[in-house]
Every structure is written in structure tokens, then in C-alpha cells.
Structure 1
Amino acid sequence: MITATALEVRAGARVLLESATFRVADGDRVGLVGRNGAGKTTLTKILAGEGQPAAGTVTSSGDVGYLPQDPRTGDLDVLARDRILSARGMDVVIRDLRETEGRMASADDDTRDKAMARYSRLEAEFQSRGGYAAESEAASIASSLALPERVLGQPLHTLSGGQRRRVELARILFSGSQTLLLDEPTNHLDADSITWLRDYLKAFRGGLVIISHDVSLLDVVVNRVFHLDANRAELDLYNVGWKLYLNQRETDERRRKRERANAEKKAATLMSQADKMRAKASKAVAAQNMARRAERLLAGLEDQRVSDKVAKLRFPEPAACGRTPLTASGLSRSYGSLEVFTDVDLAVDRGSKVVVLGLNGAGKTTLLRMLAGIDPPDTGEVHPGHGLRLGYYAQEHETLDTDRTVLENMRTAAPELGDTDVRKVLGSFLFSGDDAEKPVRVLSGGEKTRLALATLVVSSANVLLLDEPTNNLDPASRDEVLGALRSYKGAVVLVTHDEGAVHALEPERVLLLPDGDEDLWSPEYADLVALA
């Protein structure tokens, strides 16, 4: 259980949440919603004990499992299976058991006897942590999140970003925590895994706070909704499910609008009457009192909700280039004996649209990183054509320098632009005033997405490499990205699980990984997008 009392949350000088009191008890499945940048991720970090409130207190009883938007995966040399088992400390016990088994085969009686005694103690500890049933539970969770045995036996550094995130989700679900805090848990999940996760969370008996833009997930899972209103810096608590929340919130907004209109009408009448009475000295005091009543009437009223702002996005007008600005031939990537893909060829013609499909772990992100010149291929080459200007959107936002500010990142992306022009672009992406001076490391996933897209807008790129560009976006911002995809005149190579993004792109070709087969796009491939 988590209890927050008089909680105040700030981002620099900006108040995100003021004097909020609430509780998340066993059986509460809370959907935490609000526009991008409202402070949902910041609030969740504080609830997880990884951040400090500006005022107020947070107390928790029982273990809290926290999945951040950008999960930490610890030692990247650890096997994926051991990372999951570490949630209950079982990885160390199992490793010690295996080592002790070897010593039990020693020819030295003393060494063997000590090993046998140690093995008994370790086996008792193993059973106390759940034993083989817990191992089986971990394997089942991993399999349900599309992490097969082959992947579990690999070190984390050999996995894709999506696979590592699913390892972290499996670890949190396996932890047995009484309260779960999940920030965008469906990112990088295929359709089957999302369906399984919905059923798992719906049946979860502890407390749950979930941030998600997946409306179908919220509709099935949540029985309470906390709406973080960025305009009022307040947390509106709705003790109902998703559909009832939508209806009740709309009713609340209409009520606030009505109340404000009535109050403004009354205040205007009072001020008008006060102005007339001021002309007579005998009624000056009465006029002053009437004016104060009008001011109090307005001051005590909740501000009318301003429509949520959305970044206005248009991808750049592409710079002139040759007929085929980007070509790749014979690309391959392996990790040890594991072959990810081999002998992949791709020619990106001017203005062409290509979607890359493949199951999780097939190497889609790896291919885009090779095309972007970030990762070298094991074999093969990437050939830039005449006039090539690349724009790369990375799903993990690794193109952003997290130690520098929003403004500094934009200056690096567009060194030819003056400070005024850079700030103008940032303003259109909802980074105004002090927001432009924030270090990137404190941004939410949605804010990082907006900044990464802003760097593309000023790039004049004629080939865009887009890796899951709609992740972490609210519906209105996602619509902006889809609209920008439709109107962009340059070439695009797109990796996505979002069927709407593929529909907006209207691809001419599809590249299937890991085999590297290329084909003309047809509607039959649309069914593979959500599975990719």
C-alpha cells in the first residue's frame, strides 16, 4: 500500500502537482493519466522512492516494484534469465548451488563433506525462495512476454532494447511485490504479449499504478483513474473504471465551464454597478466592497481547463539528393554463435517509403543503427549516396545527450540556426521558458520523444530512419506524428508496432527480417505489424 499526504511535485520552478492526498491499497488498479509532460513519470518516481517531493510525504508498506520508462538493466554481462531471477535473489543461490555441486565431486573427503553441508543449506534457502516452482513461474512469465529459452540464455548486452525492456518487465512481475508501478509497460510488446499482460494485471491482487497510452489496456484493467491536470496542477481522483471516468470527467469539465461563465457574469455585473456607484462620494465605500466581492468570486473559482497543447510537427523539407541516397549491401550481425540476420541488402530511393518487419529480436533496431552509422556491421557495407542527409529517431533516445540541456541538444542538431530560431522551434514542441534549460535526463519519455522529433524537424534530412516514433505519445501527439508521416516528401525507413503509423506512411516496400527478403507492400503484411 502507498499513501501520499499533501504531496507537492515540482520540475524546477514549475509546480506539477499541489497538495495531493491519496492512497493506493491492495485491489486498487489505478490508471494515472494526463497529457505528455504533465508530471506522471515524475510523480511515479516519487511514489517508488526514487525521487523527493517538494512537500508532503509518501509512505509505503510492503515491497514496491517499479518499471520506469527507461529501465535500468544493471550488469549487461548477466544472463537474461539471471536478471529475472534476481528479483527474488534466486540467481545467486542457484549459481552457488551449481558451484557447490562441483565441489561435492572432489576426491578430498574434507572438501566433499563441507560442500555437502553447504549444499544442504543452499538447497533450504532455494526452497524458501520458491524453489523449482518459482523457477517455473519466472520461465512462464518470460515466455508470455515473448522471451523464449534461447533469449533467456543470452547476456543482456546481446539483446535488443525491446528485449531488455521485456526482461525488466518480467523481473518486476516475478518479484512478488505487493504494489506495482508500471510506466508504459506495453512498449515493445507484441499483440499476444499485450493480451497476456492485460489478463495478468486484471487478476493482480495487490496495488497497481499504471501509466499507459493503450486505451484498451486501461479499459480492461483499471478500476480507478487519477487524472493529473497540468493546467490546474491538481490530481483528480475517480473511483470508477475507464469508460465511466471518461463520461464523468467530461461532465466535470462542462460543470467547471458553466460555473466560471456564471461567476464571470455575476462579477461583471458587480463591477459595473461598482463603477456607477464610485461617481458618488457617499457610495464610494459600498462600491469598493462590491468590487472586492467580484474579485473574491473570481479568485475562488477553479480555472477553466485549457485544451491540452500538442506539439505542431512537420518533418523537414528534404534537401536535394541523388536518385538513391542510401544503399546497404550484405549486412550481417551475430552475437557469438547467435546469428541475428545475414546478407541483408537495401536500396533506399529518393522519396521511397519502406517498413521493416520482423519478430522481436529479429534485428530491426540493429539494422537502423547500422544504416545510421552508429553500429558497424559484422559484414557488408552502408553506402551514402549523393546529397544524403540522414535523420535518425532512436526508440531509446540515445541520440540525445542526457547530460546537456534541451536547448544545448537543439543547438547541436541545428548549429546554423540562431538562438531565437532554436527557441521558436522548441516552443512549437512545448519547450518554452525554463523548460528549455532543463537537463534531458529529467525529461519524461514523452518529453524526450518531443525533443528527439524536434531535432529531426531542423535537420533538413532527406532520409528518415524512424524506430518506434509513436511510443510514449498521448493520442493527440500521436496524431501529429502520423500527419507528419503522411505529408513528408523524403524517404522513410520505419520500424514500428503501430498499425496506424504504417497506414499513414503508405509504404511501397517491406523488408522482412531476419531473412532480409524484400517485397512490394500489400495489405496482407498489415497483420504482421502488431506481431513484429
Structure 2
Amino acid sequence: MILLQTNNISKYFGAKQILKDVNLTIQEREKIGLVGVNGAGKSTLLKIITGQLAPDAGNIMRSHNLTLGYLAQDSGLESSRTIYEEMLSIFQPLIDLEHQLRKLEEQMGDPRVKADQAELERVMKQYDRLSETFREQGGYSYHSLIRGVLQGLDFPEVDDHSPISMLSGGQKTRLALAKNLLQKPDLLILDEPTNYLDIRSLTWLEQFLQTYTGAILVVSHDRYFLDKVVTKIVELEYGQATTYPTNYSGFIDLKAQQQESLLKQFEQQQMEIARAKEFIQRNIVRASTTKRAQSRLKALEKMELVEAPVAKQRQIHFSFDIKIKSGNDVLQAVDLAIGYHGTPLAKDINFLIERGESVALLGPNGVGKSTLLKTIVGELPSLGGYIRKGTNVSIGYYAQQQEKLDPQKTVLDELWDDYPLMDERDIRTILGNFLFRGDDVYKKVADLSGGEKARLALAKLMLQKANLLILDEPTNHLDILSREILESSLLDYPGTILFVSHDRYFLNKMATRVIELSANGTESFLGNYDYYQEKLAERGSQPQTKKEDAKPQPGKQSYLENKEQQRLERKRIKRIEELEQLIAASEDKISFINGELEKPEVAQNYTACLQLSEELSQVKTALDSYLEEWVSLTEEIEK
């Protein structure tokens, strides 16, 4: 059954058209991801669907009695109630029904009612009917449902007297999400619901939405989340909507195939048109061929033209480089304790990061990940232990809230003041690569959007050419396309990276190692996010005999053993790469010698034949040795 349908929706802001003839159909139980670059009109379309904005053209059809829930981007829940009172208010009809049942129970116990058989029978029938309704509508489970949703969204200890007015902006947004989930509308519309959620909460939300019985329309830049939750992608591009019946990864493949096919069709038709025009031009004036030329001209006029593939959206373009290479040991923490005002958040932090690694720092919200990064860059003092930087290490730091930007400066001055010796033309070129063009460079930093501030901070980071990048949530506020460009730039970066991110797609692509931070230390996992999750699952499935055995031991001995194991692993991988090059070179050499031996002039020269045969034997022996070593090393890595 169709729940909602938009028909040729168009919307202008001033003279600029944001949406053009947008058609969208949402079926019962469908889970749809709405994607597009920043400014494509996603939030505008959601506001039109929910009735907060009126379209300039087109209309919306809704099914009868459709219930709709809407979480706007970064919209916090404002209320004078406590957390639990607000959640309970959703179930007020059930609470009222429960009060009716209690009154009926009192009536059934009343001696006067008991004495009147007809009245007692009437009350009992009413009680049975209301009890069944109460059970069917979840009357016996709504308290546990509230607790489950609040705990899933990181409200582990719900105090009935905790006022909502005392919560932070992020907590209010999570509470607004919790209220929408508890209401269970027929159509749940979510605009960036993953903001302010840590990885544990994200995983819980994915599982909740996967089993949600209503329909979902969600805007998200979290590609991992989209892959897990949605079964259909609607892309807004140049104001128009295109539907793809797949998740995000499937959408990327399908779109690439469609673009390639469309380009081929366009190019073939253009060649056909060029040939037809040439024929017409040659033959239109000749009496013997003019009729054929006229027929060809009519066919050309009637031809249905294939539209040229649209040009790519404006996108940021940059790459990271380094001024000087660091030593092999880049950053070491030994028995480090971090926190604020003498109160530690985490202690016994031990790790060593080596040149070329891309290390993800993971842990629950509030454990101190950003605090650790600020301690490393010197913004906060350590509360114990020490940090040692390696030889020639220079740090480039990307702060989560872009607090390093001066809100009173213009975009141009924010960059130029840090690099006064650069020409204005070069500064403008760099800003242009980050989509600050024309008068955009005279905008005040305070007036920039979150995405614009992120791009400006990345431009400053790129110009530093530091050999150690420390990144705190670098993908926040970036659209999906910009995130992919950032990933490509960092994958080509020749330095070392330590980063914090909740973007699991980014984590999977970037991390060569994961360091898990807890209040009692760190644990290292050699691999990406999926590998880290596998190891956690294995650890969770193993029987635990003693509580202390289940805890990771952050002692120096296990730390050094882990470091040595990682060093040997990297050494094996490097040797395998060398062996593959030697094997390829040996095989080329064997092919060359065999070719020489087949030449008539060589075959008739006994001395030349003998020399080449001996060389061939030596190369084959070496090849066998390389292959044997390659097999042995690959088996070790697999183990």
C-alpha cells in the first residue's frame, strides 16, 4: 500500500530552483535513504513532505489516517518535564486505560456489585474487553520499551527527576529521536539521526530500524548506516530525484554503470548525427541524390536525442603532502593519564605509532578520545605518564568543533594571515579548490555553515604539510562526496595519521590499526573496523571464568609483545611485496632467455647456447626459491 506520494514537487528560494518536478513514492514498510550533496534540497523536501514548507508547484498525496514522525536535523527536544515523564506522555492513552482497569477491579470487589449478578457480569465483560485492548496495544511492555530505547540511545541511568532543560544540545537531539522511535508512526522521517551517537548507539539504532514495522525515509551521510538500514536510495541531483532499488553501495555501482551506458549512447548518437549531417551537406544540392538527403534530414529532425550526461557537481579538490619525513617511531605514550582539573578520564595509556600507520582511536562517548588528542597536541596537560614525539615529527591538528578558526576573520584572511608570504592568487586558488569562489572568500567565519567551516579547516591543514595528522571527527559536516574525496586524499598521504571518527565506512577504509581506549588503558587491534568488530565478537563468545581475566591487561610486557608482533607482521608483508617483484622479474627474464635460444643465429652458436642455458638454469633455481619463500610467508600471515 502507498503511504505517501509526491507529484512533480517544485520549490524556489528567490530565483534559485531547489527542487524540480520531484516524484517520490513511499510504500508500506519501505526503508528509503535520501542522498545528495549539501545544498541539493534534501531537508527542503522533508519539510515539504511534513507540511512545514509549501511547494511552489505539485502536490502530496497521503494515505488515510497516516501517522508521521519527523526528526529535523539537530532539533533538540524542549520540555519542562523530566526525561521519563516526557517519554511516558507518549503512552498517555494506555495510562488512562490502565486507570480504567483499576477502577473496574475496584468495582468487581465492591459487595454491592457482587450482589447484583447482572451488574457484575457487565463489569467483568467490560474488564475483559479493555484488558484485551490494553494487552494488544502494549500495556504490559511500554515501561520496558522506554527503558530499552533510552539505554540504546545512551541514557543508561534514567532518573525520573532529571529535567530535560538541564541536558546538552546533543542529548536533547537524542531524546527527540527516542520519542520518535517510541511513537512508532506509520512513516518515520529522520534527518541526520546519527548525529551525536557513538558507535554503540549507532549499532543499536541500526538494529532497531531494521526490525521497524513502519516505513522509514532517512537522510544520512553515514554510508555504513545506509548500507545496513535502507533497501532503496533516492538521489537528489540538480533538483531532480532518481530512484535506485538498492542500498548505498549498490547505488554507487548502479549509478556508475548508468552514467557509463548513457555516455556511450550519447557518443554513438553524436557520431550518427555527424555522419547524417555530412551526407546531407554533400547530397542536398545534387539532383540525383537530393531526395535521399531530404529523407535523411527529416529522419534527423524526428530523432529522439539522448541527453548528454550532466557535468559533475562542484566538488572539493585537494591532496595532503609533507615537508620532511619523520623517524620510524612517530608517537609514543607511556603510562599516560588524561583528564581535566586533576580528575582522570583514562589512565595507563600505552601505545607506539610508527611511520606510515593510519590509527583509529575508538571508545565510548565520554571516555576521553578528544581529550587524549588535545593532550597529545599540548592543549591539555597530562595527569601522569608522558608522551614522546619521534625525530622530525610535525603535527597537524584538525579539531572537531573547528575552534582554531577565528570567527571575526574573513575566509580569505583566515588562510592568508597564516601564510602571509603566499600570493593572493595562490590563496584564492586553494580556497577555490575547497569551493570558496568569488565573493565567498569575503564571508565572515562566524557566518559559515558547519560544512564550510570543515572545508576551511581542511584547507589550513593541507597547507601545513605536517607529517603526523591528528584528526578529530574529520568527516563531520561533510557530504558523502566530500567524505570520499577526503578518504582518497588521506589514502595517498605519505605521513602518519591518528584519528577519531564515528563514521564506520571511513574507519573501514582508513584504519590500518585500531586502538581501543577505556578508562583503564588501551588495547591494540591490527586491522580495520570490521576486523576490530570480529575480535570483539570472538572475545564476547569466549567463556569468562574470572572477572579479572576478562579485562585487557595494559602492562608494559604485553604492550611490548604486541609491538614486536606488529613489527614482524609488517616485515613479512614488506618481504612478500619484494618477492612478488622478484618473481615477476624472474619470469620476464626466463621468457627473454627462451626467446633468445629460439633465434637461429644463437642456436648455431654452441658457446652462446651454453651460456644462456646456464643463466636460464640459475634464474629458474632462484624463481623456485622465491616462490617457496612466498608460499611460506603468505601461509604465516593467513594463520
User: TM-score if structure 1 supplies the norm length?
Assistant: 0.65
Alpha-carbon spacing, 1:316–1:78, altered in 2? closer, same or farther (3 Å)? farther
Aligned amino acid, residue 263 of structure 1: Q
Alignment of 1:169-318 (within 5 A): 169-186=177-194, 189=197, 193-212=201-220, 217-219=225-227, 221-230=229-238, 233-238=239-244, 249=255, 252-253=258-259, 256-273=262-279, 275-276=281-282, 301-306=306-311, 311-317=316-322
Aligned amino acid, residue 266 of structure 2: R
Q: 1:73 is matched with which residue: 51, 63, 76?
A: 76
Aligned amino acid, residue 461 of structure 2: L
| 2:600 corresponding residue in structure 1 | none
The 2-side partners of 1:146 and 1:358 are apart by 13
Is the CA contact 1:325–1:387 (under 8 Å) kept in the aligned structure 2?
Answer: no
| 2:501 corresponding residue in structure 1 | 496
Query: Structure 1 residue 454: deviation in Å?
Result: 2.7
Map Cα deviations across residues 34-70 of structure 1 (whole Å, 9 max, x no partner): 45664434544554556676655668764431242xx
Query: Structure 1 residue 465: deviation in Å?
Result: 2.8
Q: Secondary structure at the match of 1:362?
A: coil
Query: Structure 1 residue 20: deviation in Å?
Result: 1.4
Q: Secondary structure at the match of 2:370?
A: helix
- Structure 2: stretches of 5+ with no match in the other structure: 96-133, 537-639
Is the CA contact 1:62–1:178 (under 8 Å) kept in the aligned structure 2?
Answer: yes
Query: Structure 1 residue 235: deviation in Å?
Result: 0.7
| 1:140 corresponding residue in structure 2 | 148
| 2:369 corresponding residue in structure 1 | 364
| 2:462 corresponding residue in structure 1 | 457
Query: Structure 1 residue 205: deviation in Å?
Result: 3.9
Tell me the C-alpha RMSD between the 2 structures: 5.8
Identity, % of aligned positions: 29
Bigger Cα displacement from structure 2, 408-417 vs 260-269: 408-417
Aligned amino acid, residue 429 of structure 1: F
Is the CA contact 1:407–1:436 (under 8 Å) kept in the aligned structure 2?
Answer: yes
- Structure 1: stretches of 5+ with no match in the other structure: 94-126
Alignment of 1:10-89 (within 5 A): 15-24=17-26, 26-35=28-37, 38-48=40-50, 62-68=67-73, 71-73=74-76, 81=83, 85=87, 88=90
Alpha-carbon spacing, 1:325–1:42, altered in 2? closer, same or farther (3 Å)? farther
Alpha-carbon spacing, 1:258–1:493, altered in 2? closer, same or farther (3 Å)? closer
Is the CA contact 2:375–2:381 (under 8 Å) kept in the aligned structure 1?
Answer: yes
| 1:98 corresponding residue in structure 2 | none
Query: Structure 1 residue 141: deviation in Å?
Result: 0.9
The 2-side partners of 1:439 and 1:21 are apart by 38
In terms of fraction of residues, the more helix-rich structure is 2
Query: Structure 1 residue 341: deviation in Å?
Result: 0.4
| 2:338 corresponding residue in structure 1 | 331
The 1-side partners of 2:464 and 2:203 are apart by 38
Q: Secondary structure at the match of 2:71?
A: strand
The 2-side partners of 1:59 and 1:528 are apart by 43
Alignment of 1:425-504 (within 5 A): 425-432=430-437, 449-461=454-466, 463-470=468-475, 477-488=482-493, 492-497=497-502, 498=504, 501=507, 504=510
Query: Structure 1 residue 160: deviation in Å?
Result: 8.7
Map Cα deviations across residues 321-348 of structure 1 (whole Å, 9 max, x no partner): 999999997532389xxx7705677899
User: TM-score if structure 2 supplies the norm length?
Assistant: 0.56
| 1:114 corresponding residue in structure 2 | none
Is the CA contact 1:390–1:461 (under 8 Å) kept in the aligned structure 2?
Answer: yes
Alpha-carbon spacing, 1:213–1:370, altered in 2? closer, same or farther (3 Å)? same
The 2-side partners of 1:381 and 1:52 are apart by 60
| 1:112 corresponding residue in structure 2 | none
Query: Structure 1 residue 147: deviation in Å?
Result: 3.3
| 2:429 corresponding residue in structure 1 | 424
Greater RCO, 1 or 2 (C-alpha within 8 Å, sep 6+): 1
Query: Structure 1 residue 362: deviation in Å?
Result: 1.2
The 1-side partners of 2:449 and 2:294 are apart by 48
Alpha-carbon spacing, 1:309–1:505, altered in 2? closer, same or farther (3 Å)? farther
Is the CA contact 1:348–1:491 (under 8 Å) kept in the aligned structure 2?
Answer: no
| 1:97 corresponding residue in structure 2 | none
